[in-house]
Amino acid sequence: MGIYLNPGNRGFWQSVRSEIYVDKTELIACTNKMINTEEEYICVSRPRRFGKSMALKMLAAYYSRGCDSRELFAGCKIEKAPSYGEHLNRYDVIFLNMQQFLIEADSGKATEYLEQEVVEELSEEYGEILQGRTGLAAALRKIYARTDKQFIFLIDEWDCVMRERQESEALQKQYLDFLRNLLKDQPYVALVYMTGILPVKKYGVHSALNMFREYSMINQRNFEEYTGFTDEEVRELCVRFGMDFAEAGNWYDGYKFIKYQHVYNPKSVVESMSCGIFSNYWTATETYEALKLYIDMDFCGLRADIVRMLGGGRVKVNTRSFQNDMRSFRTKDDVLTLLVHLGYLAYDAGEEAVFIPNKEIVREFENAMSVGGWAEVMRILRASEKLLKDTLAGDADSVAQALDRAHTEAASILTYNDEESLACAIGLAYYSARKDYRLIRELPSGKGFADIVFLPLPSANKPALVVELKYDKTAQAAIQQIKDRHYTQALEGYVGEILTVGINYDRGRLDKPHSCVIERAEKHT
């Protein structure tokens, strides 16, 4: 068992023995299908602390020659797969953590240091084949030619050079050329599983690694289930640890893919179950300046888009122009796409739109905006708690006045062009409600869609709110639509009081453009 060559199964043993372990071993069945095929080059990009390194340790434990991992995988899901025994501990594995080489090597010599370290370890195993000085690719070709043995490459933090040496294009190009020479069209390669935060497709005009198939937060393909925790997995954990499932969803759900519509942040779920408290765990692993750097960028429309998403809205985005680095930004779409890869935004492939996924991330946006540059928005957020109290008290006049003030504050960033814009502004004005409520936009109900529903969390002990918005009509007309189209049916199964809230924005009233009517609906039992 070596450091780089066949690292064995100790790392995965630690994961399995942890208090909270969620079985994702069926990923192995997916990678088994790709061995020695056109799909053998895999690049999986996910946000930090989304289980990338643990997946690599699992694959190392499964594939590494020289250890017996049968007992380790006993009872795991992969044991039932037809390919399980065929590949178990049958390959020489080369495990590379690029962050380590970048830190330990002299400046600009990370690849040279890597080759030296790995070839030295290969020589201990294949000394009779490797005579004299040789590069890593050449050494592997010699081994393959003499033994017919192929290698599986597991590469962690592949993109650290791109993220941490952003200013050095020469170093990036050298690094990409090194990887291309090491991996592309080499007979000794059986599989490459490479992970990072950024996808690999393009860096300027240099596309050295175009043989890789990408599995990113834009499209995880058949790896969706292994990107984070699923509904079923989180529900089981909540039962085991006595935690509220609905509140777990409010805090950590929201990442959305084609098949799996609910994917949870695994780091935060594990921490909340261990501590017994829902709080900010994933965002606490990095300072808010990382987010503030990007949302403060001066691209036309970016600030308005951030405000729309804070109000619960979604923003259309073109992800195809993104250059997959952290400095080549040409449009606001590039910034929004990067935030998807970093985990601060979620992406709906069907709508081609981005949104803020959950309460934990909403609070990080608030932290990033609180230190300057977003004064108008912060005033709206601070006033939102009183607005909610006035709404729950049925004080329609105070609600209308508060919305007038919020509109004045936000006018420089967000304008009311239609009911969608109005809905985003109202969602922003009710920002503090997210402590006790789950905000749902366009909820199907009765004969249409309720504009905004605030569904209380089980621990909140507050009434639900069904909000209908009108533009140049009347607040009473909004209330009547709630009744005529039976919007409260959207809350079937909810037991508790319901307030219906009708809000109208009248462009002809400059002094008091908002009006409001609040009524108590029939109580659900």
Digit-coded pLDDT (tens) for 213-269: 999 999 999 999 999 999 999 999 999 999 999 999 999 999 999 999 999 999 999
Task: Name the least confident of 43-47, 433-437, 506-510.
Answer: 506-510
Per the listing, tokens 């003030």 go with 405
| Model confidence at 27: pLDDT above 90 | yes
In the CATH hierarchy, which top-level class contains the domain 375-520?
A: alpha beta
| Percent of the chain residues topping a pLDDT of 70 | 98
Say if 10-215 and 375-520 have the same CATH topology. Answer: no
The whole-number pLDDT of residue 132 equals 77
Proportion of the chain in helix, strand, coil states, percent, rounded to 5: 45, 15, 40
- Mean pLDDT score of the chain: 92
Looking at residue 133, its pLDDT comes to 79
CA dist 239 → 234, 235, 273, 275 (Å): 9, 6, 10, 15
pLDDT in tens, 147-157: 999 999 999 99
**CA distance linking residue 401 with residue 116, whole number of Å:** 70
pLDDT on residue 202: 56
**Domain positions in the chain:** 10-215, 224-373, 375-520
Share of the chain above pLDDT 90, in %: 76
pLDDT at residue 404, rounded to an integer: 92
Q: Residues 356-407: pLDDT tens digits?
A: 999 999 999 999 999 888 999 999 999 999 999 999 999 999 999 999 999 8
Q: What is the mean pLDDT of residues 41-50?
A: 96
- Go through the chain and tell me how many residues it has: 525
Does the pLDDT of residue 6 top 80, yes or no?
yes
- CB atoms inside a 10 Å sphere around CB 497: 16
Distance between CA atoms of 52 and 240, rounded to whole angstroms? 25
Angle at 238 between CA 232 and CA 243, to 5 degrees: 150
CB atoms within 10 A of CB 201: 16
For the stretch 466-496, pLDDT in tens is 999 998 999 999 999 999 998 988 887 788 8
Q: What confidence category does residue 206 fall into, taking pLDDT thresholds of 50, 70 and 90?
A: low
Give me the pLDDT at residue 201, please. Answer: 62
Q: Is the pLDDT of residue 203 over 60?
A: no
Identify residue 15 by its one-letter amino acid code.
S
CATH number of the structural domain 10-215: 3.40.50
Look at the block and give the residue holding tokens 């922003």: 428
- Check: CB of residue 516 under 8 Å from CB of residue 477: no
Task: Please name every residue paired with 519 in a beta bridge, in sequence order, or none if there are none.
Answer: 500
Distance of alpha carbon 338 from alpha carbon 461, whole angstroms: 38
**In this predicted model, what pLDDT tens digit does every residue of 271-312 receive, in sequence order?**
999 999 999 999 988 878 889 999 999 899 999 999 999 999
493: left (phi over 0), alpha (psi -120 to 50) or beta: left
Q: 100-147, pLDDT tens digit by residue? A: 999 998 877 899 999 999 999 999 999 999 987 789 999 999 999 999
